[in-house]
A and B are shown apart, each in its own frame.
Chain A
């Protein structure tokens, strides 16, 4: 009747998940998070949609000059019967500007009410061809936003679920239930179940965020952005999976050193710092290629740095794979050391266990 290891891990993970799903605080905070994401996408959609094409009145003589812009949607054309008619349309605000015949070399001029209609002028201007030696596909602001988005999602998930693991570890120590658990399953199985259960919850939340943001982008007509982001998001998910397990193992191991909920915060703060540093680096250095290149290999920041570099097209095809191998190796190493700390500290209640003692056993 003894229990097989996978079954033990599955049971522990199942308990973690069901207890978490039953917590009202968790459900409400997840709901608020999802609403916030949806709201920001919809707000973004409305803002970009309100930037409509300028309305321009033309007369029969000038319609050929701007008809190309009209059919491409850059301008919204209204045909007026005469120049006076066109001017009247400008005066009463029906259009932003009118294009009327003139005797200058262009053959037409722009009539506007009280200010030069810059957008219309730019559209009708002839600009010299610009040749960029190092072209960039994306504008800086979008990069900044996406960087922050990856950073926020990773940071929030890691800290939220990481501290959940930490609390759950200490709860078992504080209530001594751990001793009953250890009489039938091993410390490693217990830790694996905890990390697995919370990882599944975190991945579920990430998947939900991905679905909601894809839906939101599609509904609000921003699917072009979605297409550009697709590969980066896919890589982000892959990196997130391993990166999260790494951080979860760290939280479990460090939390096992203390016996009271009050001490969880201080003992896990180094781990929180490890999660927070990449977040701030992304915000401050997202345009600095060398910082981003380093970040995309450091295991703690790779889940944020590498997808961003892929999105920017800065990374070679093999770079995410190499970074993933580094992350994977680090994760395995941390799990090995972490489960040792965990197993050696679980039954030591009272004062905080010294890290060196926990490692020695």
Chain B
């Protein structure tokens, strides 16, 4: 019984190590392809896709998150006479953690899944083989533009999301908790520093890489058939979200 238990644990660990190794190989392969050729047109195309697909949902997510954060914080802080810190606290929380993580999660769900679905369909219909037959490296053609687009767009969306979140917080602070705009806005530069924003942006770049690499990895490894494409898409999103949360802890330790 105990031996069987150890076998299961061992097999799971091995599977995890194979997965990490495979993903790292894909990432390194894509990085090696960057100096060979960067298809700027494809990068811009992917960036516009990413922006158009995620902007509305990033706006809604960050707006409501900023609002609910302020709702929870403002009343308690007013009781303690610390209403002059609310804006700063919201800005720090959003800039450091909520902005990059929530934008990352939204992008994983919206864009990572689309990447997996698109690439796995290309695999099933032999389009990836066709690329190879025509002497074009699929990592350079498919992964690099998506990775660069995510590395640029996720931080940009994070900055946008940060602003929307803070504005959402201001709305609740002013019209629900009765904190004046002057107090809310003034407390932001008083408590938040530039590192709160830049640290969040570093996280966003890393999350962008995670979303693109996992999205492409699951697409390229998708099993045959419609069911395979569906499963690969789900796994891609779930893995990206889990990895984003795990790396967020690690990055928070290093950056702050």
Asked if chains A and B come from one complex, the reply is: no
Question: Contact residues of B with A, CB < 8 Å?
Answer: none
Residues of A near any B CB (own CB < 8 A)? none
